[in-house]
Amino acid sequence: FKKITTHRLQEMKATGEKIAMLTAYDYSMARILDASGIDVILVGDSASNVMAGNETTLPITLDHMIWHATSVVKAVHRALVVVDVPFGSYQGNSSEALRSSIRIMKESGAHAVKMEGGIEIKESISRVLSAGIPVMGHLGLTPQSIYKFGTYSVRAKEEVEAEKLKSDAQILQDIGCFGIVLEKIPASLAKEVSESLHIPIIGIGAGPDVDGQVLVVHDMLGITQDFKPRFLRQYADLNKIIGEATTNFIKDIRSKDFPNKEESY
Ligand code: KIV
Ligand code: NA
């Protein structure tokens, strides 16, 4: 196999091969995803929700992100590992953005970082790029701005926000981002952005006419409960499988079936 690079992703867009991306936050999961052939692993700040049980992505720290990223990188042989720069460690201060991104790259061994926003964080992204660190953009429903939006509903349905998103996407490409995640926006808008740019557009709730798709692995595997947006396709029901396994384990202990002779020394 050949390692996936940011250049390979550009090539995939050019040749029309769709890019498959999933999140992972730990060694064991990352190992399974990488061995299964996933192209990109995102160490998402969604770790704040699915790992730590927070309602938003705001509380997770740079140290937490580096801990998760370090665990993931150890497991990965082929995939490109992208790490979210967490809330409060890059916005409005390009030297802090650079410092945070360098820490992620140096301490975890990841291959790229991702930051949320367009023109507002242009200086931060440019400064990180100037250090030779590949940056992925993220536009649309950017969860670090949830208190600005006030709702998790679809973004950029109106003309003004759609125009800003298109302009932001163009800026991100122009300053040198290697790709952009578009989250929860109309499929027609995502298609337009993907067609007008040469860098890969990875969608989540952005319809089929983009260059790849990303999901949170716990959602895709059916571990997450009470979260069923229409963009989510569930590929397994691990909630049920893990629950049944746990019930059987408890039953076998109570009935003194486990451990048996062969399982003892
Ligand atoms: O943190 C995350 O999981 C993400 C993806 C949903 C794109 O940013
Ligand atoms: Na994220």
Q: What is the pLDDT of residue 246?
A: 98
Phi then psi for residue 92, to 5 deg, are 70, 10
Q: Catalytic site residue 96?
A: no
Residues 121 and 138 sit within 8 Å (Cβ to Cβ): no
**204 within ligand 1 shell (Cβ under 6 A):** yes
Alpha carbon of 189 to those of 9, 15, 100: distances in Å?
Answer: 21, 22, 32
Torsion of CA 178, 181, 182, 184, to 10 degrees: 180
Ligand nearest to the CA of 21: 1
List, for the chain, all residue ranges whose pLDDT scores fall below the cut of 70.
none
CA–CA distance, 225 with 215 (Å, rounded to integer): 15
ipTM above 0.95, yes or no: yes
Cα-to-centroid distance, 43 and ligand 2 (Å): 8
Give the position of tokens 């048996």.
260
Please give the number of the atom of ligand 1 that sits closest to the Cα of 215: 6
| DSSP track, 200-216 | -EEEESS-SSSSEEEE-
Ligand nearest to the CA of 204: 1
From the number of C-beta atoms within 10 Å of its C-beta (0-12, 13-18, 19+), residue 18 rates as middle
Q: What is the pLDDT of residue 1?
A: 78
Indicate which residue of 11, 17, 183, 195 is catalytic.
183
Q: Is 94 annotated as a binding residue?
A: no
Pairing of strands 212-215, 40-43: unpaired
Q: Is 116 annotated as a binding residue?
A: yes
Cα-to-centroid distance, 215 and ligand 2 (Å): 11
* H-only helix segments in 16-93: 27-35, 47-50, 62-75
Q: Is 252 annotated as a binding residue?
A: no
* Domains of the chain, residue spans: 6-234, 238-265
CA–CA distance, 215 with 23 (Å, rounded to integer): 7
Cα-to-centroid distance, 2 and ligand 2 (Å): 27
Phi then psi for residue 148, to 5 deg, are -75, -45
Q: Is 191 annotated as a binding residue?
A: no
Atom 8, ligand 1: residue with shortest CA distance: 44
Cα-to-centroid distance, 265 and ligand 2 (Å): 47
Which own/partner pairs from 135-138 qualify as long-range (CB within 8 Å, at least 24 positions apart)?
Answer: 135/101, 135/176, 135/177, 135/178, 136/82, 136/112, 136/177, 136/178, 136/179, 136/180, 136/181, 137/168, 137/169, 137/172, 137/177, 137/179, 137/180, 137/181, 138/114, 138/180, 138/181, 138/183
Please give the number of the atom of ligand 1 that sits closest to the Cα of 21: 7
Alpha carbon 148 to its chain centroid, in Å, reads 21
CA–CA distance, 106 with 120 (Å, rounded to integer): 26
Which CATH class, in words, describes the domain spanning 6-234? Answer: alpha beta
SS3 of residue 179 by DSSP: strand
Q: Encode pLDDT of 99-145 as tens digits.
A: 999 999 999 999 999 999 999 999 999 999 999 999 999 999 999 99
Q: What is the pLDDT of residue 226?
A: 85
Q: Which two tokens stand for residue 53?
A: 């049980």
**168 within ligand 1 shell (Cβ under 6 A):** no
